[in-house]
Amino acid sequence: MSTSKVAPVNLGIDAQKQKQIAEKLSGFLADSYTLYLTTHNFHWNVTGVMFNTLHDMFMEQYTELWQAIDEIAERIRILGFEAPGSYQAFSKLSSLPDAPVNAPAAMEMVRLLLSGHEALAASARKLVDLAADAGDESTADLATGRLSLHEETAWKLRSLLQGED
């Protein structure tokens, strides 16, 4: 029987910084999953005159988030840490509120998703800085891509709300 151990991850990143990045990515993963679930919920439950537009937009958004969740989790694994993957873990790590129990009106859904995307943009910006400081270009690149996506999505959602107030 072999007693060999797997060699520790050695990516040329300071071990403590690597751990900090993985922890920050874990929170980002939890927030992304929470926003994914909220967006999917709203896709199912949107009603009103904007139904077709919002139903399709929400599907596009939750599909993109679903793909990002996998990329974020795999980056955590590449760094040598276990990716959180349970509702319990996500609820502890996420800074975003869960979706409302009862579906809100369509434009309130848009407001809530806008808030979520802006929060993820702010988190991605911090992650870019942390990763760049550690010389972790791969995580910085992932976070930069997420930052751009969340900023663009926030802009699109905000545009729907113009004239509402």
Query: Would the pLDDT of 61 be above 70?
Result: yes
Tell me how long the chain is: 165
User: Tens of pLDDT along 20-50?
Assistant: 999 999 999 999 999 999 999 999 999 999 9
The pLDDT, as a whole number, for residue 30 is 98
User: Tens of pLDDT along 126-143?
Assistant: 999 999 999 999 999 999
Quote the CA–CA distance of 41 and 89 in Å, as a whole number. 20
The pLDDT, as a whole number, for residue 13 is 79
The pLDDT, as a whole number, for residue 73 is 98
108-131: average pLDDT: 98
pLDDT tier at 11, thresholds 50, 70, 90? confident
Check: pTM over 0.85? Answer yes or no.
yes
110-125: average pLDDT: 98
Specify whether the backbone of 4 is left (phi greater than 0), alpha (psi in -120 to 50) or beta: beta
The pLDDT, as a whole number, for residue 63 is 97
Domains belonging to the chain, first-starting first, are: 15-161 (1.20.1260.10)
Q: What is the 3-class SS of the chain, one letter each residue?
A: CCCCCCCCCCCCCCHHHHHHHHHHHHHHHHHHHHHHHHHHHHHHHCCCCCHHHHHHHHHHHHHHHHHHHHHHHHHHHHCCCCCCCCHHHHHHHCCCCCCCCCCCCHHHHHHHHHHHHHHHHHHHHHHHHHHHHHCCHHHHHHHHHHHHHHHHHHHHHHHHHCCCC
CA angle (41, 82, 92) in 5-degree steps: 50
The pLDDT, as a whole number, for residue 9 is 74
Of the chain, the percentage scoring pLDDT greater than 70 comes to 93
Quote the CA–CA distance of 41 and 35 in Å, as a whole number. 10
The pLDDT, as a whole number, for residue 8 is 74
